[in-house]
């Protein structure tokens, strides 16, 4: 695949990001693609490795190794090298209906599993994927293709995030009449309101949704079925099957003194309202949170925490500190994290890069937790008491942390954003449909089956598996659609 000596001849190269000082003045996407000639060279770097772990899509120690969608990566890399863009597009779309999403926001477990990465920088698979699909859109090769027949069966999909969109996409292709219900005012779920515009432009989301509408899928916004009993009963009666793709949207809270002070918010709400006011071109929402000229404390070190760092800087914050309770990751792979596992190494993401450039310091503080929040006379948070922790392992190998005595520090804060992950589906959703939950708070259903304890009700994506990656959500959405199809065919 590719050029036999390509990985020796060409260095890995990816598009250049707009400089931090420039990109913080707007919310536009800041990652720029390579020229076509340069992208062809990157396709040439794919070696004839024999066993392409990049497309394996398995879990090792709970983390993805290779592409969960089993993308035909060596094939489309080879076709890029041969400049056969039409066939490259066909091979890409064979497994991934939304490469414009994954090509932007996927952490690329395929690249950690790339054979070239054992000794050299990995093939730029993620960028190759994005280039194929964006070139196709620019060349007007992506057009609506409605199914040639309909089977006169209706399926409702609840939730329009990546899992819901993937499930509705395939069900529609299989001939079902699909109607998608979304509780927010825009379609896209996590893609619309959970990921900032500078990482995933909302025009990209709308572009795909518009195509799906042209193909016959119907979308309904501001439709919270689980809070509208009359609508829920109508859905239960009118559809042959229902797919719950409602995500894992219950945020993890912080149970410390002072938690209820004003100014302490869940990060997901902060990001959602910032995107909403950006798209509505106003800041009239009572839920909008501005960090302008404020000292911001972000608790949590994942992607959401990074997005909060970047957003608060764009809003003009006075300072920002990001707390992580864990140890910092190593700069290089350790022996207990070998290839082709997901590479657990320290990275400086775009938000931290912007903080360093604009504020002059790395915002992350590791092995640090919050003990208490202190408020002013009006009930606003004004400071946080933090403490250093150390991680210990007991005789049974279980790991826990303990506070380090006399390591407390008082931080002046005006806004606190809780970005500590999610704890499963919101209870009112499962209660509404009467579906069982597993011991992690997710809607219970077997993988590859996806049906809940309730007849004709299926579940997929984060609502079933818990907080995860967009690429896993897409995979589950597609597989759930096949499960629905099998279920309805057997009923006939």
Whether 278 and 399 share a structural domain: yes
**Residue located via tokens 């450039």:** 357
The confidence score (pLDDT) of residue 395 equals: 86
Tokens linked to 179: 């109607």
Task: Decide if pLDDT at 397 tops 90.
Answer: no
* pLDDT value of position 1: 62
Residue where a domain terminates, one of 384, 418, 452: 418
Residues 409 and 309 in one domain: yes
CATH code for the domain of 481: 3.50.50.60
**Is residue 67 helix, strand or coil?**
coil
Q: Is the pLDDT of residue 80 over 90?
A: yes
Q: Tell whether the model's pLDDT for residue 3 goes beyond 90.
A: no
Q: Which sign does the torsion angle of CA 101, 107, 113, 119 carry?
A: positive
Two tokens, residue 291 = 């960090």
The pLDDT value recorded for residue 286 is 76
pLDDT, tens digit (0-9, with 9 covering 90-100), for 442-492: 999 999 899 999 999 999 999 999 999 999 999 999 999 999 999 999 987
- Nearest-CA neighbor of 297 among 227, 361, 363? 363
Do residues 391 and 429 share a domain? no
Do 124 and 173 share a domain, yes or no? no
In DSSP notation, 430-467 reads HHHHT--B-TTSSBP--TTT-B-SSTTEEE-THHHH-S
Which residue, among 210, 129, 234, 243, has the nearest Cα to 476 in the 3D structure?
243
Position 366 confidence tier, pLDDT thresholds 50, 70, 90: very high
Mean pLDDT in residue range 145-166: 98
User: Under the phi-then-psi rule, with left for phi > 0, alpha for psi from -120 to 50, and beta for the rest, what region is 126?
Assistant: alpha
Q: Which domain-ending residue is among 138, 166, 184? A: 138
Q: What total number of domains does the chain contain?
A: 3
Same domain for 237 and 292?
no
Compute the Cα dihedral for 97, 101, 106, 111 and give only its sign.
positive
pLDDT tens track for 249-272: 999 999 999 999 999 999 999 999
Q: Based on the domain organization, do 189 and 329 belong to the same domain? A: no
Q: Which domain holds residue 354?
A: 264-418
Q: pTM for the complete prediction?
A: 0.96
Residue 9 has pLDDT above 90, yes or no: yes
Tens of pLDDT, residue by residue over 30-54, are 999 999 999 999 999 998 898 999 9
What dihedral do alpha carbons 459, 463, 464, 469 form, nearest 10°? 120
What percent of the chain is helix, strand and coil (3-state, nearest 5)?
35, 15, 45
In the chain, % of residues over pLDDT 90: 93
**Structure token digits, residue 166:** 């993937």
In this structure, the answer to whether residues 303 and 381 fall within a common structural domain is yes
Inform me whether the pLDDT recorded for 314 exceeds 70. yes
Mean pLDDT, the chain, whole residue set? 96
**Is the pLDDT score of 109 beyond 70?**
yes
> Among 369, 394, 418, where does a domain finish?
418
- CA distance readout (Å), 76 to 15, 79, 303, 393, 472: 19, 5, 28, 45, 21
Q: Contact 39/131 with Cβ under 8 angstroms?
A: yes
Same-domain check for residues 404 and 431: no
């Amino acid at each position: 695949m590719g050029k036999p000596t390509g990985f020796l001849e060409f260095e890995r190269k990816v598009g250049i990001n707009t400089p931090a000082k420039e990109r913080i003045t707007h919310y536009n996407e800041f990652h720029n693609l390579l020229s076509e000639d340069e992208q062809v060279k990157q396709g040439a770097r794919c070696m004839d490795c024999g066993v392409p772990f990049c497309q394996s899509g398995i879990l090792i120690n709970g983390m993805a190794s290779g592409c969960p969608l089993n993308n035909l990566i060596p094939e489309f890399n080879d076709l890029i090298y041969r400049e056969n863009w039409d066939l490259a597009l066909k091979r890409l779309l064979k497994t991934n209906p939304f490469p414009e999403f994954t090509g932007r926001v996927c952490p690329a477990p395929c690249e950690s599993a790339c054979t070239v990465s054992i000794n050299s920088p990995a093939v730029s698979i993620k960028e190759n994927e994005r280039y194929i699909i964006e070139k196709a859109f620019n060349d007007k090769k992506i057009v609506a293709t409605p199914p040639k027949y309909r089977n006169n069966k209706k399926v409702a999909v609840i939730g329009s995030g990546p899992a819901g969109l993937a499930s509705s996409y395939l069900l529609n292709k299989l001939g079902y009449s699909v109607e998608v219900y979304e509780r927010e005012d825009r379609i896209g779920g996590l893609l619309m309101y959970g990921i900032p515009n500078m990482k995933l432009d909302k025009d990209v989301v709308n572009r795909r949704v518009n195509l799906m509408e042209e193909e016959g899928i119907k979308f309904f916004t501001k439709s919270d079925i689980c809070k509208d009993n009359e609508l829920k009963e109508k859905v239960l009666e009118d559809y042959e099957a229902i797919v719950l793709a409602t995500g894992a949207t219950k945020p993890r809270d912080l149970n410390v003194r002072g938690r209820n002070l004003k100014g302490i918010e869940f990060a997901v709400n902060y990001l959602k309202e910032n995107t909403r006011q950006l798209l509505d071109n106003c800041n009239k929402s009572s839920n909008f949170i501005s960090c302008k000229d404020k000292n911001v404390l972000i608790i949590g070190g994942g992607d959401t925490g990074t997005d909060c760092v970047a957003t608060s800087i764009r809003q003009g914050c006075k300072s920002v500190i990001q707390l992580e309770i864990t140890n910092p990751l190593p700069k290089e792979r350790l022996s207990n994290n070998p290839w082709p596992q997901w590479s657990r190494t320290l990275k400086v993401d775009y938000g931290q890069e912007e903080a360093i450039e604009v504020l002059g310091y790395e915002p992350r503080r590791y092995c640090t937790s919050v003990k208490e929040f202190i408020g002013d006379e009006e009930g606003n948070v004004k400071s946080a008491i933090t403490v250093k922790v150390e991680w210990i392992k007991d005789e049974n190998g279980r790991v826990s942390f303990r506070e380090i005595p006399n390591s407390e520090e008082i931080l002046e804060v005006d806004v606190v954003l809780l970005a500590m992950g999610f704890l499963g589906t919101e209870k009112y959703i499962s209660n509404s449909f009467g579906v069982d939950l597993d011991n992690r708070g997710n809607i219970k259903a077997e993988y590859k089956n996806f049906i809940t304890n309730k007849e004709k009700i299926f579940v997929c994506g984060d609502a079933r598996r818990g907080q995860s990656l967009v690429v896993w959500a897409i995979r589950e959405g597609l597989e759930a659609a096949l499960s629905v199809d099998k279920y309805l065919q057997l009923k006939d």
